[in-house]
Every structure is written in C-alpha cells, then in structure tokens.
Amino acid sequence: MYVIEQQGADLAVAQRLALRQQLALPALAELHARLQAQQRNVAAGSGTAKAIDHALKRWAALERYANSGSLPICHSQTLHSLKSKPQCPGVPAVEQHQDWN
C-alpha cells in the first residue's frame, strides 16, 4: 500500500482515488481473503491469530482509505498531519484532510 501511496503522492484527490481503486482495492481483496483463510488454520489465541483478528477488526478503515482519495494510509499520519510532519514510511504528510471540515 505504501508503494501505491508513493505513486499517488503528487496526484489530485480524484486521481489518487482512481489509483487506489485500480491498485489498492484488488490487493486488499486478496489480502482479506488470505487473512480469512489463515484465520481458520491457526490456533485460537496464538500470536498469529491475534494479529489476524486485529487486522480483520479494522478492515472497514482500510476499505475507507481505499475508497477515498483524501484519507491518509496510516493513523499516525492523520494525528500528525497538522504539523505537516510525515510519520508513515515513504508517505508525505497530509496538509489538511478535507473530511475534517
């Protein structure tokens, strides 16, 4: 996802949305299917199971990101965007998030 974000860093919101829909949505769909399949094959309560559960519980947020051209890819980038200080590897800071208005 971070590579996709690097590709779209200088794009307008509508262009970034198109890029995410073209590249991020299919990748996320494949990852979701893999996580669900692995969830059935790992021991309940194991570290792997907890990591998979954590990812799946937050899946709606990933879908929101992929279906938006303006949402940043990571939470720490959102928290620190007012300072214009990049916190996510390889992703420029967001100047202002349009959904905050």
Which range has the worst mean pLDDT, 4-18, 20-34, 53-67, 72-86?
Answer: 72-86
pLDDT score for 83: 54
CA 97 – CA 82 distance, rounded (Å): 9
Can you state the percent helix, strand and coil of the chain, rounding each to 5?
65, 0, 35
CA 97 – CA 30 distance, rounded (Å): 28
pLDDT tens, position by position, 41-99? 999 999 999 999 999 999 998 999 999 999 888 766 554 554 554 555 555 554 444 44
The answer to whether position 87 is within a domain reads: no
pTM of the model: 0.70
The CA dihedral of 39, 73, 25, 98, to the nearest 10 degrees, is: 140
Q: Is 45 exposed, middle or buried (0-12, 13-18, 19+ CB in 10 A)?
A: exposed
pLDDT score for 72: 86
Counting the structural domains of the chain, the total is: 1
**Residue 7 scores a pLDDT above 90:** yes
The answer to whether position 50 is within a domain reads: yes
The answer to whether position 85 is within a domain reads: no
